[in-house]
Structure 1
Amino acid sequence: MGDEMFEKSLLIKTKEGFGFRNITDTIEFFVEGSGVDFGSCHIWSVHTTCALIIEENQEALMNDYLSLFRTIKSIGEKNGHMHTNTDKTTRRVAGFCHDCKDCSDCERRNAAAHIISSLLGKQKILQISGGKLTLGKYQNVIFIDFDGGQERFLNIQIYGYDETSRILHLL
């Protein structure tokens, strides 16, 4: 077989607000179907308000994440931003600047979603060994949408080679 590259897109339909989706089994399915025994799997979101984490998929922990995300969102809503008026004076306005109809043309009012997803990251690169993702006992690939209620896409690229090619490379 030799060196291989396999590409796949994954469509995820999300619910309103913040949402988590464990995609580990789907990614494993793609890896197994690729024929790659040793290599890497690159997963990335093509959306600016989504993130990927490697984490334990435990409900209480996901609730802790949600609590933290809501806290970050409330900080922006509470502290607000400085708005420059047409006469060049400034005033403090509630909410993030991106969410302000006078400052931004974005209708979704989703500044917190952009900020939180950037802090967590939109991509992961995982090792493949023996035809499987190399994950710890409690590690899962979790997709998070901070601005839900939409169709989301993840791109997946799998690079590597099969066992036969590995042996030939070692000789």
Structure 2
Amino acid sequence: GALDRLIPKTGPYQHCEGNSDSHIKSVLVGGSQIVFVEDGRVALGRWQGIFFCEFDGPRERKLMVKTVAA
């Protein structure tokens, strides 16, 4: 995809674990998000969605949810 063209798997990276591209992609996409819930439903716009991106896997991951009442 577009990220693979922008940040190829092999490049002049100085990271020795072989997953440098994954780290850079993660920085660009972000690692967390705040999502509002109204009346028990996720409050997204018509064309919005939530996507989980895995750049260095598959690996076991954790999904953490914290509720903050206003």
TM-score band (shorter)?
0.7 to 0.9
Q: What's the CA shift string for 1:96-140, capped at 9, x where partnerless?
A: 111xxxxx3x2xx10010011111110111112222111011211
1:153 Cα deviation (Å)? 1.1
Identical amino acids, percent of aligned pairs: 27
CA distance in 2, matches of 1:70, 1:155: 27
RMSD: 1.9
Q: What's the CA shift string for 1:36-92, capped at 9, x where partnerless?
A: xxxxxxxxxxxxxxxxxxxxxxxxxxxxxxx11211232862xx2xxxxxxxxxxxx
CA distance in 1, matches of 2:14, 2:50: 32
CA distance in 2, matches of 1:75, 1:151: 21
Question: Is this contact kept in 2: 1:72–1:112, CA < 8 A?
Answer: no
Question: Is this contact kept in 2: 1:110–1:147, CA < 8 A?
Answer: yes
Distance 1:75 1:152, change over 3 A: closer
CA distance in 1, matches of 2:23, 2:56: 9
**Residue 141 (structure 1) aligned to one of 9, 25, 50:** 50
1:71 maps to 2:5: yes
Runs of 4+ with deviation above 6 angstroms:
none
The structure whose RCO (Cα within 8 Å, separation 6+) is larger is 1
Unaligned runs of 5+ in 2: none
**Residue 25 (structure 2) aligned to one of 111, 116, 124:** 116
CA distance in 1, matches of 2:33, 2:51: 10
Which has the larger share of strand?
A: 1
Q: How does 1:1-171 map to 2 (within 5 A)?
A: 67-74=1-8, 77=11, 80=12, 96-98=13-15, 104=16, 106=17, 109-160=18-69
Q: What is the number of equivalent residue pairs in this alignment?
A: 70
Structure 1 SS opposite 2:36? strand
CA distance in 1, matches of 2:2, 2:30: 16
Structure 2 SS opposite 1:135? coil
